[in-house]
Structure 1
C-alpha cells in the first residue's frame, strides 16, 4: 500500500465523518506518521509548534477511530490502514456482482471493514434510493478532539429523533463545549434528515437575510432533484412542513444587544422573536438547534408549557473524560490532577489553557497547584473578557458582590451589600443564571473559583 493510496483512503474516511477533506497540516501529519516521523520532526518540517501538531494529530486519530469503529493512534495508523485495505479488497472480491451498491467514499456511514454486506432486499434498496439528503455544512467548524459526552448526546438524540422537538437550545459558559457537542451530534444524526444546514450568525444577518438563505438552500436542492421543473420558491414554513429538516444556528448570541440583560434583541432584530414563536407554534416536522452564550428569552418562557421546546445546559466533563485532555498534554500523572479538573470545573477550554501554560513553563507551575492557586493564562482571560463585555452594568455589579464572598450568599445579604432595588437584583441574577455565570445552591448564590479570580483582577 503506497502513500498516495493511504492519503486517498484517509481523506475518504475524514470526509465521510466531517464533510470536509484533509487540510494541509492533517495531510502532512499522515505523511510523517507513515514515514515513522515523530511529532517533533513533523513540526520542524512545517515550522509549526510541536503542541499544535500533536493537537491536530489527536483530533485526526479520533475522527478516524470514530469512522472505523476501532482505536486509531499514531502508533497503529499504518496497521489500521493496511487492515482496512485488505478488508475492502476482500469484500469487493466477494461481492463483485453488486459492487455498485458499495462505496467507501462520500456519505458511507459504516466503515468498510464491518462485515455487514448481506444482499439488501429490493424494498430496502428502493427506499434508500428515493431518500435524498441535502447537506450544507460549509459553516460547521471542524470537529476537534471529542471527549465523552454520551449522556448529552443521548438526550439530544432522544429529543430530536424520538420526541420530534422543534426548537432546542444548547446553553453553557464559554469553552464548555457547546459547539463541539453539536458538531458531534450532527455527524451522528444528519442522515436522518432530508435537509441539514449549519448557519453561523456571527455576521448578525437580519431575519429577511437568514430566511432568504434557507429558502435558497431548499429551492436549489429541489431543482437538483427535479431539474425540469421551474417552480417558484416556497415560503420557508412550507419547506419545514414538506420535508424533515435540521437547521443549526451557531453563535445565536450575536442577535442580542451588548450591555443589556441576556436575550434582549438588537434594534432591527426583534422580528426573530416572532420567528422563533412560529417555529414553536406552527405544525411542521423540522428541528432548529440554537447554540450560543445567550438564548432567546421566549424559549425559556415557553419551555415549561411545551414539550417540543427544550434547553440543554452543558456542564463540565467528568474526571475520566477530563483526564483524556491532560493525557494529550502528558499531564495526566501530575499531583492533584483531579483537584485541577475540579478547580476548572471540567471546562475543556479552561483545562487546555492551563495545560498549555504548564507545558510551556516546563511543568514547574505544578507546584502552585498544590494549594488553592487559580492560574489565569492570558488566552483564558481573553475568552472570559469577550463574554463579560456583553454584560449589563447591573450584572457586573452583582458579580463584583459575589466575587468578594468566599462562601455562597443569599438574597438578603446581596441586597444589603449591594444597596440596589430587589427587582434589579432579581433580574440580574436571572440573567446571569441564563448566561451560566453563577451557581445556585438552594437559595444561595456563588461563583466558580475561576470567575471569582478573574473578576477580582478587573
Structure 2
C-alpha cells in the first residue's frame, strides 16, 4: 500500500480554471510589458508585492494561501478573482512514488526563455532527451548546434513537456556573460524559497550549496548561449590560436560548476545549449554515463516545408524543395529568412528563386559571420581550402596540401571542432562543407582576394551538393 502525506485544509488554492486564467494573463503581460520575456521570480515579486515563497504557493497550489493573497495576485494582472477561481485544498497528497515519479510542479522561473510558439519536427530529438533526463536520470546534457539550428526552441519544448517531473525549473541565458557568483546566488535563493540568505563568499562553496539543493530537490536547470562565456577569435588580432572549449578570462569557474554537476550524486539535471562544447563536457560524456551530448542537425523535408507554409502559398517541384532544404542544411532560422524572401520577392515561386544563384544574403550572412568570427586560424585554413577545392577531402590530403601545414594533433582538433559546430560533415572517410557554408566561405575569402578564390567562384553551381560532386 502506498504511503501518503496528510495535508491540512488551510486557506484556499486556485482551481484549474483560476490557474489557467492567471497564467494566461501573466503570459499576455510578459508579451506586452516585458519585451516578450518571461518574468523572473524577482520581477513577479515587484509586480505583485508578494514574496517569492507566497508566489510559489499561489502558482503550485501545494498549500493554501489567504484569499486576499489570490485577489492581490489577480489584480496585479488586471483580473477579477471570482468564486470559481479558488477552492479549499485537497485533504491528501499522494507521495511521489505513488504518482509514478510525477512531482508537484513548483513555480518555474523561465528567465529570458522565449515562448514556445510553433514547433517543427524534432520528434526523435525530444524522445532521446526525455529518455536521458526522465528515465535514465542524466545529470548534465549538452545540446550543440550551429546558430539558428533551433537549440533554444528544442529546449523550451522539452522543458514544457517534462517540467511536471521536477519540483523546480530555472532557465538562464548567458548571452551577456553574467558572473558565475550572480548566477549561483539566483539559483540558491530560488531553490531555497528565498530562505537561503547566508551565501558563501567563494565560488567553490556556493557550488557546494547548489549541489545540496540539487540533491534534496528534483530540479531542472537550463543554461542557454554557453558560447558567450567561451573563448573566441578576436578579430583585432592578426592570429587566432585559442584553445577550443576554454573559458574567457574571469569565467573559468563555470567549468567547475559543470564538472561538479556532472560528477556529483544528485537527482537533478542541468541542460546546456551552445554552439561550442565546453572542455569539461568532452571528458565526462558517454553513451552509458550521466553526461550526454545531443548534436542538433537540420530539419528534414517535411518539417522544412512546414516553415514555408506558415508564410503563405509556395510553388515548387519535389526536386526543387529537396534542393532548397538541403542547400540550407535544414536550418530553421535560415529557412524562415529564405521563406520570407521567396514569398515577398518571388510570389512564392521556389524555382524562380533558385535560378538567381544568390542564396547567401542579409541576415544569413550575419548568422554565418557570427560563427566564422569564433574560428581559430587552423579552422579558417581548413574551411578556406575546402571552399576553394569544393570536393570531399581526406585527412591525408589536408595534411599534405594545407599551407601552412598543421601537425596531426592540431588538424584532428580543428576537424573535431568544425564538425561539432556543424561547419563540416564526414562521409566515407572524407570531410566536406555543407553547400551554404561553402558558398559563404568562398564569398568571404574572395572579398579578401585570398588564394585566388574569385577565380574558383566563377565555376561550379552553388546549389550542387558536395555529395553529388563526389
- TM-score by structure 1 length? 0.70
Q: 1 or 2, which has the higher helix percentage?
A: 1
Q: 295, 308, 312: which one pairs with 1:313?
A: 295
Query: What are the ranges of 5 or more consecutive residues in structure 2 without an aligned counterpart?
Result: 1-16, 34-83, 200-205, 234-241, 445-470
> Which residue does the alignment assign to 1:243?
217
> Which residue does the alignment assign to 1:100?
87
Q: 120, 126, 130: which one pairs with 1:147?
A: 120
Residue 257 (1) aligns with residue 231 (2)? yes
Quick check: 1:170–1:292 contact (8 Å CA) kept in 2?
yes
Q: CA deviation at 1:197?
A: 0.4
Q: CA deviation at 1:424?
A: 2.3
Q: CA deviation at 1:11?
A: 11
Cα distance in 2 for residues equivalent to 1:297 and 1:130: 33
Cα distance in 1 for residues equivalent to 2:263 and 2:222: 19
Quick check: 1:168–1:290 contact (8 Å CA) kept in 2?
yes
RMSD over aligned Cα, in angstroms? 3.3
> Which residue does the alignment assign to 1:429?
415
Q: 366, 383, 388: which one pairs with 2:367?
A: 383
Residue deviations 1:329-377 (CA, integer Å, cap 9, x gap) = 2244323223211221211111111111112213387445556935112
Q: CA deviation at 1:185?
A: 0.7
Distance 1:297 1:18, change over 3 A: farther
Query: What are the ranges of 5 or more consecutive residues in structure 1 without an aligned counterpart?
Result: 1-8, 26-95, 103-119, 224-229
> Which residue does the alignment assign to 2:437?
451
Counting matched residue pairs gives: 357
Q: 319, 323, 344: which one pairs with 2:328?
A: 344
Cα distance in 2 for residues equivalent to 1:417 and 1:408: 14
Cα distance in 2 for residues equivalent to 1:428 and 1:130: 44
Quick check: 2:105–2:163 contact (8 Å CA) kept in 1?
no
Distance 1:373 1:198, change over 3 A: same
> Which residue does the alignment assign to 1:163?
136
Cα distance in 1 for residues equivalent to 2:250 and 2:296: 30
Q: Which moved more, 1:164-173 or 1:271-280?
A: 271-280
- TM-score by structure 2 length? 0.69
Quick check: 2:103–2:165 contact (8 Å CA) kept in 1?
no
> Which residue does the alignment assign to 1:117?
none
Q: 403, 409, 412: which one pairs with 2:396?
A: 412
Residue deviations 1:108-155 (CA, integer Å, cap 9, x gap) = xxxxxxxxxxxx995549989994513111321122321122111111
Cα distance in 2 for residues equivalent to 1:303 and 1:380: 32
Q: 163, 167, 192: which one pairs with 2:165?
A: 192
